[in-house]
């Protein structure tokens, strides 16, 4: 069949068949083609020429050499060879989702920007949440900051709020950014580690950059280990300005607060998730959207005047500082709902081009020197990534309001402007675009004085006070996690002088923290603290900086796994499933075989996941329902023993029935308030809504 010669009419009838519906056909190469019914358009080259055969290249004879004239092969392979574009140097790995922003409270007093004044108006958005250090193919769950970039397609043009899930940054001045990124990325001689801060070059740079100490506290906290992208906050970081219709400006900081509350994982859990599901966060978002469980954030602002800013005990233009909520309260003004997964990952998530310089009339920049550098960098990056100054014409980047100007030509120009006039002002055209002196974009009328120079203001000199405030604001467990993360990371640093320098910095933040880390690193004497450029101020602890304090008492957005095997009690499984589902959790049945298990009554219960590929790190709490026989069999199965042992070690609630006790015993599970009877689903649901923090001391040594 494969080599049989066909007449032209035979070939034509074969071609017709391939466009028709619902038939299977044997291609010349022997592959079986199944069509799904319906009308299939002709498969063509990029020039629109229909292909008669997409399985075989043109050869001089059936076993002969390929022919250069095969334009179909070359068209296809050439395009394939150029499928990749340069990935982002930072924030390469990401999840992007469409949605909308809705204003609930007007800021008319402060700004002319319609998106912030028209209550009830829904503005489409595209939000991209990313890791920073790893490449596009890296895992979703390294210890890393998450980028939180939102493109608002407003009626007055696109506004990009390109922030992170941490409200401060490592450095104060844009000129240091390439060094920071070179230090954190894989080391250039060896090409690793991919996506990790736990290595010499990162900590070497940090130990020589005291301004990064506040951010170091944040990244060593569990903020960098989010449970879900739906459970992170977002921050615009820099101060921006709002400008009202009298031309007055007010400073503003932007915040996103997740409706599901904040939640993080535990380091050991994160490491195991990275192995169990490299796409853990992307999949979680995809599944949530597919289930109609749309993630939502509140949008809030902190507003303050120049005079108020002058009274702050720090400089708000310094991106290593935040404004505590206790000092300037958050005002919630809207919400964002993400409700539509992109049609195509490359066209949308990969090609979306955010630029902090994309603002709309009524929103303006502050003098933050980091922001000022960013205003240049992103446009430049897009030129290199997307290859053309016309990147704004790509559908995901194009404004959804009319836009028009006299810019022309360039690589991959998609527009065909008409007429003679391509300049402004002109008197030859009746309909060419003109300036809008009133509604058009105006910069805040700020006067600047002073001496030009490469200087850092004195007001940026305090590097430790807010780092100390952050640490002291945490709960006991969160402090222990920060100390342990520092020990873990610095233990991966080969150079002793770098480890010592870091502990020296910690002494300015909090002596007890420094001692814990020094002990964890096995130091026999405390290293000296470096000279501090400014005395450390004592600031009031701010509980809003915690994660535990911002967790919500809910199972919404959380997942529960029920482990079953042959002989399990089906009624009990159903009872637990019902209670968990009603509490808002997604429930998955895990069994040794994906086909399911034969329940006590003889009926089959199908499984959502096979035990070996569905470890308990993928759940927030687990229930184990087993017969005596089932428990006996699973006690010999390391995946089952790890399932319960990890759930216990990761401080999760465990419900177990009588039969399951044997497995718990093999896994050496202790008994505490989080280990409950599977028959008491109310107790299980209550315990599942939180982590069993008090258990932690019994399962690991923390610094
Ligand atoms: Fe970025 N950053 N950045 N950054 N950044 C990029 O732009 C840069 C900074 C942030 O989902 C790049 O389009 C400089 C702070 C996010 O596509 C690049 C400086 C914050 C994203 C770039 C900073 C961010 C980027 C790479 C110091 C938090 C991903 C690809 C002045 C407020 C956006 C791209 C997306 C991406 C440069 C500092 C957040 C190279 C020079 C501070 C969320 O242009």
In order, the DSSP letters of 250-285 are: EEEEEEEEETTB--B--HHHHHHHHHH-TTHHHHHH
DSSP summary character for residue 345? I
Higher pLDDT, 570 or 5: 570
Report the residue among 378, 382, 394 best suited for mutation to probe ligand 1: largest number of ligand atoms under 8 A from its CB.
378
- For residue 238, the ligand 1 atom closest to its alpha carbon is 32
Angstrom CA distances, 548 to 91, 239, 478, 551, 558, stand at: 27, 27, 8, 5, 16
pLDDT per position as a tens digit, 361-393: 999 999 999 999 999 999 999 999 999 999 999
The single residue listed with the structure tokens 């503003």 is: 252
Per-residue pLDDT reduced to its tens digit, 326-340: 999 999 999 999 999
Element (H, E) at 364: strand 363-365
Whether residue 484 sits in one domain with residue 357 = no
Kindly give the distance from the C-alpha atom of residue 88 to the centroid of ligand 1, in angstroms, as a whole number: 9
Same domain, 355 and 234: yes
Q: Sorting pLDDT into bands at 50, 70 and 90, what band is 34?
A: low
Question: Is residue 557 within 8 Å of 288, Cβ to Cβ?
Answer: yes
Binned at pLDDT 50, 70 and 90, residue 670 comes out as confident
My answer on whether 587 and 533 are in the same domain is: no
CA of 699 to the centre of ligand 1 (A): 39
- Classified as helix, coil or strand, 354 is coil
Q: How confident is the model at residue 8 (pLDDT cuts 50, 70, 90)?
A: very low
233 and 113 share a domain?
yes
Q: Which atom of ligand 1 is nearest to the CA of 129?
A: 11
Q: Compute the mean pLDDT over every residue in the chain, rounded to the nearest whole number.
A: 95
Q: Looking at 497, 517, 548, which one is the last position of a domain?
A: 548
The answer as to whether 80 is a domain residue is no
Provide mean pLDDT across the span 20-33: 47
Q: Are 94 and 128 in contact (CB under 8 A)?
A: yes
- Tens of pLDDT, residue by residue over 423-452, are 999 999 999 999 999 999 999 999 999 999
Among candidate residues 98, 164, 358, 463, the one labeled active-site is: 164
Q: Are residues 306 and 340 in the same domain?
A: yes
Atom nearest to 178 CA in ligand 1: 41
pLDDT for residue 28 is more than 80: no
CA of 354 to the centre of ligand 1 (A): 9
pLDDT of residue 20: 36
Query: In whole angstroms, what separates CA 350 from the centre of its chain?
Result: 14
Q: Is the peptide bond before 494 cis (omega within 30 degrees of 0)?
A: no
Q: Residue 342's CB: how many other CB atoms inside 10 A?
A: 18
288 and 215 share a domain? yes
Expressed in angstroms and rounded, the spacing between residue 39 Cα and the centre of ligand 1 is 45
Identify the sign of the CA torsion 317, 115, 439, 433. Answer: positive
Ligand 1: which of 89, 91, 384 to mutate, judged by most atoms within 8 Å of the beta carbon?
91
Any domain includes 253: yes
Ligand 1 atom nearest the C-alpha of 319 is 42
- Parent domain of 516: 463-548
Give the pair of three-digit tokens for residue 621. Answer: 């709490």
* Residue 66 covered by a domain: no
Question: Which tokens is 245 given?
Answer: 């219709």
Buried b or exposed e, range 122-134, using 16+ CB within 10 angstroms: ebebbbbbbbbbb
CB 95 within 8 A of CB 229: yes
Indicate which residue's Cα is closest to atom 16 of ligand 1. 147
2 confidence band (pLDDT: 50, 70, 90): very low
Q: What is the pLDDT of residues 36-67, one digit of tens each?
A: 778 899 999 999 999 999 999 999 999 999 99
d(CA 389, CA 392): 8
Asked, for residue 251, whether it belongs to a domain, the answer is: yes
Specify the 3-state DSSP secondary structure of 604: strand
Q: Of 91, 255, 281, 505, which residue is the catalytic one?
A: 91
559: its two tokens: 């997942």
* Alpha-carbon gap, residue 95 to 91, rounded angstroms: 10
Residue 326, domain member (yes or no): yes
Indicate which residue's Cα is closest to atom 11 of ligand 1. 128
* pLDDT for position 19: 40
Q: Are residues 217 and 113 in the same domain?
A: yes
The verdict on 659 and 526 lying in the same domain is: no
CA separation for the pair 166, 146 (Å, rounded)? 8
364: left (phi over 0), alpha (psi -120 to 50) or beta: beta
Co-location of 540 and 561 in the same domain: no
What's the mean pLDDT in 149-164?
A: 98
674 vs 690: CA distance, rounded Å = 9
Tell me what percent of the residues of the chain surpass a pLDDT of 70: 95
User: CA–CA distance from 379 to each of 22, 169, 361, 535 (Å)?
Assistant: 49, 21, 19, 39
Residue 99 forms beta bridges with which residues?
Answer: 125, 338
* Ligand 1, pocket residues at CB < 6 Å: 88-91, 94, 128, 130, 147, 149, 162-164, 169, 174, 177, 237, 319, 354, 370, 373-374, 377-378, 381
Quickly tell me which residue has 């990162």 as its tokens: 202
Indicate whether 30 belongs to any domain. Answer: no
Instruction: Look at ligand 1, atom 28, and give the residue with the nearest C-alpha.
Output: 163
Q: Considering only CA atoms, which of 100, 103, 105 is closest in space to residue 115?
A: 103
154-183 residues labelled b (16+ CB within 10 A) or e (exposed): bebbbbbbbbbbbbbbbbbbbebbeebeeb
> At 335, which CATH number?
2.40.180.10
Contact 72, 45 (CB under 8 A): yes
Cα–Cα distance for residue pair 355/352, rounded to 1 Å: 10
My answer on whether 526 and 562 are in the same domain is no
655 phi and psi angles, rounded to 5 deg? -105, 135
pLDDT tops 60 at residue 489: yes
How much is the pLDDT for 668?
Answer: 95
377, 387, 392: residue to mutate for ligand 1 pocket, most atoms within 8 A of CB: 377
**Does 11 fall in a domain?**
no
Q: Is the pLDDT of residue 274 over 90?
A: yes
Closest CA to 338 of 101, 635, 646: 101
- Which of 497, 520, 548 marks a domain boundary? 548
Judged by DSSP in three states, 110 sits in: coil
CATH of the domain at 678: 3.40.50.880
pLDDT at 37: 77
Q: Which tokens hold the place of 535? A: 């005395």
Q: How far is the CA of 146 from the centre of ligand 1 (A)?
A: 11
To the question of pTM greater than 0.85 for the whole model, the response is yes
Task: Kindly report, residue by residue over 445-462, the tens digit of the pLDDT.
Answer: 999 999 999 999 999 999
Q: How confident is the model at residue 32 (pLDDT cuts 50, 70, 90)?
A: low
What token pair was written down for 498? 């770098």
My answer on whether 135 and 239 are in the same domain is yes
Final residue of a domain: which of 317, 333, 364? 364
SS3 464: coil
Q: Any idea what the CATH number is for the domain that residue 485 is in? A: 1.20.1370.20
pLDDT at 38: 83
Residue 503 forms part of a structural domain: yes
Residue located nearest, by CA, to atom 25 of ligand 1:
91
* Residue 91 bears catalytic tag: yes
Tally of domains in the chain: 3
Q: Are residues 262 and 344 in the same domain?
A: yes
Each residue's pLDDT tens digit, 526-567: 999 999 999 999 999 999 999 999 999 999 999 999 999 999
């Amino acid at each position: 069949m494969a080599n049989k010669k066909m007449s032209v009419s035979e070939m034509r009838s074969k071609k017709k068949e391939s466009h028709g519906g619902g038939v299977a056909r044997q291609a010349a190469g022997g592959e079986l083609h199944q069509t799904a019914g319906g009308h299939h358009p002709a498969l063509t080259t990029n020039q629109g020429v229909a292909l008669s055969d997409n399985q075989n290249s043109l050869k001089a004879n059936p076993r002969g050499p390929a022919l250069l004239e095969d334009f179909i092969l070359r068209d296809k392979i050439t395009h394939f060879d150029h499928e990749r574009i340069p990935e982002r140097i930072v924030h390469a790995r990401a999840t992007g989702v469409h949605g909308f922003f809705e204003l609930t409270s007007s800021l008319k007093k402060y700004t002319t920007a319609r998106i912030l004044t028209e209550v009830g108006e829904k503005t489409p958005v595209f939000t991209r949440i990313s890791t920073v250090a790893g490449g596009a193919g890296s895992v979703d769950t390294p210890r890393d900051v998450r980028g939180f970039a939102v493109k608002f397609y407003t009626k007055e043009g696109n506004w990009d709020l390109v922030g992170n899930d941490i409200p401060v940054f490592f450095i104060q001045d844009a000129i240091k950014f390439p060094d920071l990124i070179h230090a954190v990325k894989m080391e250039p001689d060896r090409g690793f580690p991919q996506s990790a801060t736990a290595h010499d070059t990162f900590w070497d740079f940090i130990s020589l950059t005291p301004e990064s100490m506040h951010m170091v506290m944040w990244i060593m906290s569990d903020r960098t280990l989010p449970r879900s992208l739906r459970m992170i906050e977002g921050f615009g970081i820099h101060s921006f300005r709002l400008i009202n219709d009298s031309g007055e400006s007010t400073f503003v900081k932007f915040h996103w607060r997740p409706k599901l509350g904040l939640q993080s994982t535990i380091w050991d859990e994160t490491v195991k998730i990275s192995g169990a599901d490299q796409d853990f966060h992307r999949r979680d978002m995809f599944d949530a959207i597919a289930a109609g469980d749309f993630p939502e954030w509140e949008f809030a602002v902190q507003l303050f005047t120049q005079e108020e800013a002058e009274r702050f005990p720090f400089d708000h233009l310094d991106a290593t500082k935040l404004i505590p909520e206790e000092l300037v309260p958050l005002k919630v003004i809207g919400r964002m709902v993400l409700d539509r997964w992109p049609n195509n990952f490359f066209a949308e998530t990969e090609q979306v081009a955010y630029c902090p310089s994309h603002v709309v009339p009524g929103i303006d920049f502050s003098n933050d020197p980091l922001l000022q550098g960013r205003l240049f960098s992103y446009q430049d990056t897009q030129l290199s990534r997307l290859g053309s100054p016309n990147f704004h014409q790509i559908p995901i980047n194009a404004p959804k309001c009319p836009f028009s100007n006299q810019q022309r030509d360039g690589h991959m120009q998609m527009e065909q402007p008409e007429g003679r006039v391509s300049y402004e002002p002109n008197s030859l055209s009746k309909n060419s675009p003109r300036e809008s002196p009133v509604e058009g974009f105006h910069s805040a009328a700020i006067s600047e004085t002073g001496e030009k120079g490469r200087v850092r203001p004195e007001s940026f000199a305090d590097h430790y006070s807010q780092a100390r405030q952050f640490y002291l604001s945490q709960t006991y467990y969160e402090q222990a996690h920060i100390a342990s993360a520092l020990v873990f990371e610095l233990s991966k640093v080969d150079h002793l002088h770098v480890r010592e320098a870091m502990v020296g910095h910690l002494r300015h933040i909090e002596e007890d923290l420094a001692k814990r880390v020094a002990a964890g690193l096995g130091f026999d004497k405390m290293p000296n603290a470096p000279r501090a450029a400014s005395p450390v101020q004592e600031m009031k602890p701010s509980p809003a900086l915690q994660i535990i304090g911002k967790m919500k008492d809910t199972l919404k957005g959380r997942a529960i796994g029920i482990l079953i095997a042959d002989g399990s009690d089906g009624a009990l499984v159903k009872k637990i499933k019902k209670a968990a589902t009603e509490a808002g959790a997604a429930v998955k049945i895990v069994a040794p075989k994906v086909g399911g298990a034969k329940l006590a009554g003889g009926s089959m219960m199908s499984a959502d996941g096979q035990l070996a590929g569905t470890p308990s790190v993928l759940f927030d709490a687990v229930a184990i329902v087993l017969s005596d026989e089932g428990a006996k069999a699973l006690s010999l199965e390391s995946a089952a023993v790890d399932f319960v042992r990890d759930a216990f070690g990761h401080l999760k609630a465990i419900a177990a029935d009588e039969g399951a006790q044997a497995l718990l015993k093999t896994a050496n599970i202790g008994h505490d308030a989080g280990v409950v009877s599977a028959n008491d689903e109310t107790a299980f649901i209550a315990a599942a809504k939180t982590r069993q923090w008090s258990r932690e001391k019994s399962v690991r040594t923390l610094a």
